[in-house]
Amino acid sequence: MYRAIVLDKTDAGVQARVQELDEEGLPPGDVTVRVDYSTLNYKDGLAITGRAPVVRRYPMVPGVDLAGTVEASEHPRWRPGDRVILNGWGVGEDHPGGLAQKARLRGDWLVPLPEAFTPRQAMAIGTAGYTAMLCVMALEEKGLDPAQGEVLVTGASGGVGSLAVALLAGRGYTVVASTGRMAEADHLKALGAAEVMDRAALAEPPVKPLGKARWAGAVDTVGSHTLAHVLATTRYGGSVAACGLAQGMDLPTTVAPFILRGVSLLGVDSVQAPLERRETAWRRLARELDPDKLEAVTTEVALAQVIPLAERILAGQVRGRTVVDVN
Ligand code: NDP
């Protein structure tokens, strides 16, 4: 038997509770993993509350991330005792996920745990930190370098945002952190932000087609009016990596930034990213992420504490990253 958060859909909506499950009920897969840590991402908040149709069948174990140890494997790449990470691939959405003590998965989905990290650190990074690195990679592949000027991070006190601030600052960029929680300004500066701005300046309509050009690049975790404002204020030839929708899925922009300033909007997806790109992102995280900064953004909780936190992450009330000790 093992413990897991289980989501069920009833007439009253989605119900989440911690349950004991029988290993015989594990789904098909060629690798069985004993989970050490999981984490709470924004998407897990959507799944647990049922606020958006993230989960495609019930009952479902949520959790898009896990770090653990291979217990049994019929996959050529993995042997019992190997330490692995799983991010995305629909796990926690249509395949039982990481907020559990055990998971059965496809070996093709797994990435080796970098030696630099403990399983707990890997989950402090989680999909959020790996996505922050995918954003940095996308911007740099488009030609961004620290000499070009200020780089904006929106939703900076959240998971993707705070790790994007730390990663960019670590690479020498001048980072401006946009947040709705100005009380977190000192914390964001300690992560490396050169300046902290109130997100109200970016969040409200109307958005002019073009504004004063400021950003050489940006990581946007928020979408909606915020992303539209960011595009309108990005400098000639600059790029914006868009990965999130914390404000909304809409994008009320015009073509002006693209056709008059040559601005690039770079879409970033972590869920279906190919294995090679994931491994590159994790290798770079192992080299570039300051472990002290990672610890400074991390809070640890137990499995049962995740359920009430789901509402709070959607309300923008969770700071940084939350690791979950599933044992
Ligand atoms: P968090 O909740 O940790 O961070 C989101 C942050 O956005 C909040 O902390 C808050 O930051 C800000 N925010 C929240 N609500 C609003 C609002 N109404 N208007 C403006 N800003 C708001 O979530 P994550 O970091 O886990 O994820 C961030 C986003 O990225 C989510 O939308 C998530 O779905 C997406 N995502 C996408 C991935 C992909 O593959 N494309 C992978 C991972 C995440 P502050 O208080 O500082 O303003």
Nearest residue (by CA) to ligand 1, atom 31, is: 244
Contact call for residues 69 and 82 (beta carbons, < 8 A): yes
Look at residue 254 and tell me whether its pLDDT is greater than 90. yes
Q: Which of 19, 9, 45 is nearest to 158 (CA)?
A: 45
Tokens in use for 116?
């630099």
Helix (H, G, I), strand (E, B) or coil at 174: strand
Question: Which letter, b or e, does each residue of 234-263 get, where b requires 16 or more Cβ atoms within 10 Å of its Cβ?
Answer: bbeebbbbbbbbbbeeebebeeebeeebeb
Look at residue 203 and tell me whether its pLDDT is greater than 90. no
- With a 6 Å cutoff on the Cβ, whether 281 touches ligand 1 is no
Look at residue 221 and tell me whether its pLDDT is greater than 90. yes
- pLDDT confidence bin for 86, thresholds 50/70/90: very high
Look at residue 207 and tell me whether its pLDDT is greater than 90. no
Q: Which fold has domain 127-267?
A: Rossmann fold (3.40.50)
Task: Tell me the pTM.
Answer: 0.96
d(CA 157, CA 190): 12
Distance 307 CA to ligand 1 centre (A): 18
Here the ipTM equals: 0.99
CA atoms within 13 A on the CB side of 53: 2
Tokens in use for 5?
């958060």
With the CA atoms of 262, 268, 274 and 277 taken in that order, what torsion angle do they form, in degrees rounded to the nearest 10? Answer: 70
Average pLDDT over residues 279-300: 97
- With a 6 Å cutoff on the Cβ, whether 264 touches ligand 1 is no
User: Does the domain at residues 2-113+297-325 carry the CATH identifier 3.90.180.10?
Assistant: yes
pLDDT tens track for 25-50: 999 999 999 999 999 999 999 999 99
Question: In angstroms, what CA-CA distances link 66 with 142, 173, 314?
Answer: 31, 30, 21
pLDDT tens track for 168-187: 999 999 999 999 999 999 99
Distance 155 CA to ligand 1 centre (A): 6
Average pLDDT over residues 188-209: 94
- With a 6 Å cutoff on the Cβ, whether 83 touches ligand 1 is no
Domain boundaries, the chain: 2-113+297-325, 127-267
- With a 6 Å cutoff on the Cβ, whether 87 touches ligand 1 is no
Nearest residue (by CA) to ligand 1, atom 29, is: 244
